[in-house]
Structure 1
Amino acid sequence: MSNEYTHVLVAVDLTKDSRKVLERAIPIAERNQAKLSIMHTLEPLGFAYGGDIPMDLTSIQDQLDDHAKQRLAEIADPHGISADNQYVVVGMPDTEIHRFAAEHGVDLIVVGSHGRHGFALLLGSTSTGVLHGAQCDVLAVRVGQDGEVDE
Structure 2
Amino acid sequence: MSSYKKILAAIDLTEEAPQVINKAAEIAKVHGAELVLAHVVEPVGYAYGGDIPMDLTELQDQLDAAAKEQLANYGASHGVSTENQVVTVGRPESEIHRLQEDRGVDLIVVGSHGRSGIQLLLGSTANGVLHGAKCDVLAVRIS
TM exceeds 0.5?
A: yes
Residues 121 and 23 (structure 1), Cα distance of their counterparts in 2 relative to 1, 3 Å cut: closer
Q: Counterpart in 1 of 2:131?
A: 132
- Worse-superposed segment, 76-85 or 134-143: 76-85
Distance in 2 between residues matched to 1:88 and 1:81, nearest whole Å: 14
TM-score between both structures, scaled by the size of structure 1: 0.87
1:113 corresponds to which residue? 112
Instruction: Specify the code of the residue in structure 2 equivalent to 1:51.
Output: G
Q: How many residues align?
A: 142
What are the within-5 Å matches in structure 2 for residues 41-120 of structure 1? 41-117=40-116
Q: Which amino acid letter does the alignment assign opposite residue 87 of structure 2?
A: V
**Residue 21 of structure 2 corresponds to residue 14 of structure 1:** no
**Residue ranges of structure 1 left out of the alignment (5+ in a row):** 146-151
For the residues of structure 2 that align with 1:99 and 1:69, how far apart are their CA atoms? 19
TM-score (norm 2): 0.92
After the TM superposition, which parts of structure 1 deviate over 3 Å for at least 4 consecutive aligned residues? 120-123
My pick for the range that moved more, 37-46 or 72-81, is 72-81
* 1:93 CA drift (Å): 0.4
Distance 2:78 2:98 in 1: 25
Root-mean-square deviation over aligned CA pairs = 1.9
Identity of aligned residues (%): 57
Deviation of 1:40 after TM superposition, in Å, equals 0.4
Shift of 1:117: 4.2
